[in-house]
Structure 1
Amino acid sequence: MPHSPEVAALLERSNRLGSDPRNTNYAGGNTSAKGSATDPVTGAGVELMWVKGSGGDLGTLTEPGLAVLRLDRLRALAQVYPGVDREDEMVPAFDYCLHGKGGAAPSIDTAMHGLVDAPHVDHLHPDSGIALACAADGEKLTAQCFGDTVAWVPWRRPGFQLGLDIAAIKQANPQAIGCILGGHGITAWGATSEECERNALHIIRTAEAFLTNNGRPEPFGPVLDGYLPLPPAERRSRAAALTPLIRSLASTDHPQVGHFTDTPEVLDFLARTEHPRLAALGTSCPDHFLRTKVRPLVLDLPPTTPLEQTTARLRELHTAYRAEYAAYYQRHATPHSPAMRGADPAIVLVPGVGMFSFGKDKQTARVAGEFYLNAINVMHGAEALSTYRPIEESEKFRIEYWELEEAKLRRMPTPKPLATRIALVTGAGSGIGKAIAHRLVAEGACVVIADLNTDNAKAVAEELGGPDKAVAVTVDVTDEQQITAAFEQALLAFGGIDLVVNNAGISLSKPLLQTTAADWDLQHRIMARGSFLVSREAARVMTQQALGGDIIYIASKNAVFAGPNNIAYSATKADQAHQVRLLAAELGEHGIRVNGINPDGVVRGSGIFAAGWGAQRAAVYGIEETELGEYYAQRTLLKREVLPEHVANAVYALTAGDLTHTTGLHIPVDAGVAAAFLR
């Protein structure tokens, strides 16, 4: 629970502002409140400031996300400020202003909130405000829009000096309720939390109305001949066809997860004559280009261009992009600059198709795309009123390769072993497949939950954290079209496929003379044929990506052990086991490893056993079905029951990076069945 009314009001205001994308972007902006508290040491009153800490998001901000500082000490920093050339030294000084444990780490904007003489301050990144901030004559437009109630602050990199600038401008303009920060965003203030929020919203909504009422139509120019969007189904099919290559290009320096969007705003921008000029200018707001890089890669071909020609051109453009980015780094780097982090694009724009965005995980990739959509809106507003003029390239570099940004990156946790890896698990709606999906997500992977049972697949995806972690697809592995569609959904959801687990299956337990041809065909269609079809599609995608990959078969100890009354099931498991060897031999040249796992008697949580297989096997052994798990355990060398989680552990062992030189292997997960030892 919040410790004071000021904190409660601040959190409520922050969450309201942050929940509306018209007000600010994800993790963008910060809010603050000042108030009194009791010093726990002296018992005397102390003036404090609560401000959103580094890396937080206003829409989901809670009290632990606030930095808490003593105002007297924070404001005293102005007396020792060494000047703009050394303003970065002030950031570690914030730590000496913290009250108690201080809460979250103070952000670079802390000075703005502390030095501005107002009890409540909101700093936000609304598209409408940034459109004015990034217009060539933004200062004049701001005066036209607001009169003297909103001041203009020329561009300055976020930091201590910007806080001093805003404080001075507020003092010189007592009638002002806030300001437009050139090339950046807006700041508003108020005597109460309600007044501050009201002022912030007034600036945002007034700017929106000003753009609407005064902007010229079609600021991006007329439609380019041949650049209209493809029809929806064709558009998404084209996107899926391009995704493996585009992700491969974007992952040249570091593996990336992808996101695809084809919103009307993106498609309209890419259909217009001015999009090449504007895209080349890059984004402006620091929050934008830190996530999107200074400019995107833009395909310069219409969407109906033959696919082979399109892919060849993308490769050429990627080579040029990397050279241009390296030159950008060399133009502005100093001996003290951090090393270049990577020269691949974070945003790839394909006219008529949409936008591909990339990051270290799905959320980062999705947010990068959202930020470029913000940038499109900003360009639209600035061009409607004036000319879009982002901050200078040298200033962008100063922020992108700011030592403070580098320090923030160093503070980030070590990536999990399967970070950036995208998995598709068949039969993942229950049992072994569900356990595998849980383990893969826990280790950092994004997972496609593929299952014949749509409700089960959706339930698993939801419990794993939703679309930034897992998505559900309905697929019958005997149907080639459904498999193709499932992979297309995976590509559009996460940008690619790195790891496939063939787990879907059924089991029919019958003696030879009671096994019909239909039983045999069904068993083989689902498991032998199904895993072949899934692996074939996986290999197609993985070879296009050229990033290697893993294909795992969940086979069975029955692949090598001859048990009674099990001809159809055991024969198809033997088929799968040999597929492992055959595909390992064929796909190794592409860096694709193929391995298998041979479980035994996974009863608990198993959809197969619950669907009748358990009762059938129990009848064969002359025991109660409830005793089956213990029965299987007692016939093993270790006398332990095999659970779905144990199979998931083996999948992790094969794919997490320690067995990089292993392919064509079958790992027994059977607690020790001597008759099933591999020979």
Structure 2
Amino acid sequence: MNAHTPVVPAIPPHAIPFAVPTSRWDDAHAATLRPEELLLYRSNLLGSDLTVTNFGGGNTSAKLTGTDPLTGAEVPVLWVKGSGGDIGSMKLDGFSTLYQDKLLALEAHYSGPDDDDKMVGFLPHCTFNLNGRAASIDTPLHSLLPFAHVDHVHPDAIIALAASSGGEAATQAIWGGKIGWLPWKRPGYTLGVMLRDYVRANPHVQGVMLAGHGIICWADTAKAAYEHTISLIADAARHLNAAMAAKPAFGGQITAPNPNRAQIAADLMPRLRGLMTGARRKLGHFSDDAEALEFTGSADFQRLAALGTSCPDHFLRTKIAPLTLDPARLTDDAYLAQQLADYRAMYAAYYERCKRPNSPAMRDPNPVVVLVPGVGRITFATDKTTARLAGEFYGNAINVMRGAEAIGQYIALDEQEAFDIEYWLLEEAKLQRMPAPKPMVGKIALVTGGAGGIGAATAARFLREGACVVLADRDGAAAEEVRAGFAAQFGKDVVRAAQCDVTDEAQVAATFAYTAREFGGLDVLVANAGIASSAAIEQTTVELWNRNFDVLAQGYFLTAKHAWGLLKRMKEQGGTSVVFIGSKNAVAAAAGASAYASAKAAANHLARCLALEGAPEGIRVNVVNPDAVIKGSKIWDGDWRKERAASNKIDAGEELEAHYRNRSLLKRDVLPEDIAEAAFWLGSEMSAKSTGNMINVDAGNVQAFTR
């Protein structure tokens, strides 16, 4: 929940060791699988083990027999992980299937390294059985090798060897010549030819280290391939662990983890987010895991961070280098603005130095990775999942640097090679094919009363349009239950739950700090937490009066107050929005509900005051006034239903619902989703020129007409 400081393992005195993987192969399960299912099983086992490969990294293949749909003949078919998939979570439709004979015949079109991009264009012509899954750039590495089962993975322990000046010697020491070594070459057809020719010249090898980006190995069966891959990674991990045990990691620790790092991150992330330029807002991800704290607190931190990453899988998600910040100057906005400006200038200079005549236009020059000694690692991207994955990949890069330095010197990607990967025309084409993002991607909304009917409906409306949402509710268990449902529907990255009583300022402050730390800031506040009571004035106690004002007036005040600083940060990015969920009773007198109606009126007037204060800061403040939202409402499930039925001298069941429906001008029920639609409109850019307004969503009530 929101107030908890993240807990990380203690940093060991020397170095965080590499995990040593073991086989998870289940012979009984494997015996039930068809050949292509065995390939999937092997792939999922490898990809779901983060000691073996990272998200989206690596590829696997099997050369199987298939029936040619045109001739009916049995032909060899290459099954290989397709472009963009993740071997840990993919299904059978994640594999490309290609005629192996046609793939081998492609070499007639190859005349040298300059043909790499051209060769990719031939791959669709080799498709077997109209499979729509695009083949990846690594397909030649699998097709040109003669082996039945091939694995190509990027585990940290292997890349640490591949990215070290001592890597080739260590490879010889570990495997005694059974594993070969090829110098760096960008993935593509040329690397496939180099690999095939190397294996022909060295028929005794059982795998090959590919300098800079991983290992490729093979076997005659699916099980043998899997266990061979696992054993090679385990060998590398044990070798590196022994080397790392001999000396402190990264030259030793010079900056201890700051015990207040979670709060520091909550304050820093909105500052950085508000200073980043670009057409779309960024989302942040914070990690103070042991790897990040060990690296950023080390003597060699600045030297190694400046080198950037080595493996293309890492680099594509983390940029040429991270931004590093002085932990003593994190509250200085001028310093942060200058650091970001300097980074953007550095990136532009890198682009100008390395661009080709046909390079795509320069992309977003803001940093992806921000590192702070004693605090940890912050990553930014235009969506939360990408921000999280970038952080995880940089965590992999830290592991690689640690292992590489233990046996030699860490070697990063050459700058021109890095640029040619980042701005590869094939990569640009893939980016151009991606669908346009939903309108609220990059936006962060916090909804109080998020576990109730209107709150949950509002959160769902924002989530459907791509926003990240924090559900704040005094009932933490209910908020978590709603969060779990939304996580299953929209993905776990985009929704959080926080226990928050809006009458408790400490809880409110902690909830906004949690929001900033989880997502990077705030763009939309929907103040919705509420109660309702009905009593004649003689029966209205001071306690009842105060309780209404505590929740409905003070609660809205406290949430707006603590949201304000976060919202102001986004002024230069187009402004932000506050939406109060008011009530018909805020503008229309109600007999027997003076405490409730008066508190709602106070909140509505607060919104008008805040609209005046917020305008210079780009903060819009508007109100939605519902009426009689009975179905799906927690408030109407309690005493309020009985009280209003008694006040109107009717039955509390269907008769009450009919009463409110029939008293409206339109004779229609008002649902939580109707309120959510209005709240979404006011929270989105569709209402960018509206502030200080009230929208009645009540099916028509003459008393509530505002003019």
Coarse TM-score class (shorter-chain normalised):
over 0.9
Distance (Å, rounded) in 1 between the aligned partners of 2:414 and 2:466 = 37
Q: Deviations over 1:27-61 (max 9, x none)?
A: 11111111001122321112111111111111111
The match for 1:8 is 37
Structure 2 residue 616 is matched with structure 1 residue 589: yes
Structure 2 residue 113 is matched with structure 1 residue 84: yes
SS in structure 1 at match of 2:88: helix
Distance (Å, rounded) in 1 between the aligned partners of 2:597 and 2:463 = 31
Say if 1:457 and 1:472, in contact at 8 Å, map to a contact too.
yes
Distance (Å, rounded) in 2 between the aligned partners of 1:248 and 1:147 = 54
SS in structure 1 at match of 2:620: strand
The match for 2:345 is 323
The match for 1:97 is 126
Distance (Å, rounded) in 2 between the aligned partners of 1:245 and 1:394 = 32
2:547 is aligned with what amino acid?
L
1:553 is aligned with what amino acid?
F
Structure 2 residue 316 is matched with structure 1 residue 294: no
Distance (Å, rounded) in 2 between the aligned partners of 1:241 and 1:131 = 34
The match for 1:213 is 242
The match for 1:562 is 589
Say if 2:607 and 2:621, in contact at 8 Å, map to a contact too.
yes
Distance (Å, rounded) in 2 between the aligned partners of 1:249 and 1:165 = 46
Show the 5 A alignment for 1:569-584.
569-584=596-611
Distance (Å, rounded) in 1 between the aligned partners of 2:583 and 2:665 = 17
Segments of 5+ residues of structure 1 without an aligned counterpart are none
Q: What is the aligned-residue RMSD (CA, Å)?
A: 1.6
The match for 2:568 is 543
Q: 2:688 aligns with which of 652, 656, 660?
A: 660
Distance (Å, rounded) in 2 between the aligned partners of 1:183 and 1:254 = 33
Structure 2 residue 299 is matched with structure 1 residue 273: yes
Q: 1:65 aligns with which of 86, 94, 104?
A: 94
SS in structure 2 at match of 1:10: helix
1:405 is aligned with what amino acid?
E
The match for 1:446 is 468
**Shift, 1:527, TM fit:** 1.0
Show the 5 A alignment for 1:14-413.
14-215=43-244, 216-224=246-254, 227-231=255-259, 234-252=260-278, 254-299=280-325, 301=326, 303=327, 305=328, 307-309=330-332, 311-413=333-435
Q: Deviations over 1:563-618 (max 9, x none)?
A: 22111111111111112211111111121111111111001111111121111112
- CA separation of 1:307/1:108 partners in 2, compared to 1, >3 Å: closer, same or farther? closer
TM-score (norm 2): 0.92
Structure 2 residue 518 is matched with structure 1 residue 493: yes
**Shift, 1:528, TM fit:** 0.6
**Shift, 1:315, TM fit:** 2.4
**Shift, 1:306, TM fit:** 6.0
SS in structure 2 at match of 1:551: strand
Say if 1:250 and 1:358, in contact at 8 Å, map to a contact too.
no
Distance (Å, rounded) in 2 between the aligned partners of 1:600 and 1:22 = 55
Distance (Å, rounded) in 1 between the aligned partners of 2:155 and 2:118 = 29
1:380 is aligned with what amino acid?
R
2:74 is aligned with what amino acid?
G
**Shift, 1:157, TM fit:** 0.7
- CA separation of 1:319/1:620 partners in 2, compared to 1, >3 Å: closer, same or farther? same
**Shift, 1:474, TM fit:** 0.4
Structure 2 residue 544 is matched with structure 1 residue 519: yes
**Shift, 1:250, TM fit:** 4.0
2:251 is aligned with what amino acid?
G
More contact order relative to length (CA 8 Å, sep ≥ 6): 2
Q: Deviations over 1:201-244 (max 9, x none)?
A: 122111111111234412411322xx21112xx11111111111
2:466 is aligned with what amino acid?
G
Distance (Å, rounded) in 1 between the aligned partners of 2:100 and 2:276 = 45
2:373 is aligned with what amino acid?
P
Say if 1:115 and 1:167, in contact at 8 Å, map to a contact too.
yes
TM-score (norm 1): 0.96
Q: Which moved more, 1:163-172 or 1:127-136?
A: 163-172
**Shift, 1:141, TM fit:** 2.3
Distance (Å, rounded) in 2 between the aligned partners of 1:528 and 1:600 = 18
SS in structure 1 at match of 2:447: strand
The match for 1:477 is 502
2:292 is aligned with what amino acid?
V
Distance (Å, rounded) in 2 between the aligned partners of 1:490 and 1:556 = 27
Distance (Å, rounded) in 2 between the aligned partners of 1:604 and 1:37 = 56
Say if 1:647 and 1:669, in contact at 8 Å, map to a contact too.
yes
SS in structure 2 at match of 1:40: coil
The match for 2:531 is 506
SS in structure 2 at match of 1:258: strand
- CA separation of 1:343/1:253 partners in 2, compared to 1, >3 Å: closer, same or farther? farther
1:390 is aligned with what amino acid?
A
SS in structure 1 at match of 2:79: strand
Distance (Å, rounded) in 2 between the aligned partners of 1:130 and 1:6 = 30
**Shift, 1:320, TM fit:** 1.1
SS in structure 1 at match of 2:679: helix
Distance (Å, rounded) in 1 between the aligned partners of 2:556 and 2:134 = 50
Segments of 5+ residues of structure 2 without an aligned counterpart are 1-29
Distance (Å, rounded) in 1 between the aligned partners of 2:628 and 2:544 = 21
Q: Deviations over 1:504-525 (max 9, x none)?
A: 0000011222111111110011
2:649 is aligned with what amino acid?
G
2:697 is aligned with what amino acid?
V
Say if 1:602 and 1:629, in contact at 8 Å, map to a contact too.
no
The match for 2:479 is 457
Q: Deviations over 1:74-110 (max 9, x none)?
A: 2211111243213112222211111122142211111
**Shift, 1:281, TM fit:** 0.3
**Shift, 1:191, TM fit:** 1.0
SS in structure 1 at match of 2:64: strand
Say if 2:456 and 2:482, in contact at 8 Å, map to a contact too.
yes
SS in structure 2 at match of 1:58: coil
The match for 1:650 is 678
SS in structure 1 at match of 2:208: strand
State the aligned residue count.
670
Distance (Å, rounded) in 1 between the aligned partners of 2:277 and 2:50 = 29
Distance (Å, rounded) in 1 between the aligned partners of 2:329 and 2:51 = 38
**Shift, 1:180, TM fit:** 1.0
Say if 1:250 and 1:346, in contact at 8 Å, map to a contact too.
no
SS in structure 1 at match of 2:104: helix
Q: 1:639 aligns with which of 646, 662, 667?
A: 667
Q: Deviations over 1:442-471 (max 9, x none)?
A: 111111110000110001111111640211
2:318 is aligned with what amino acid?
T
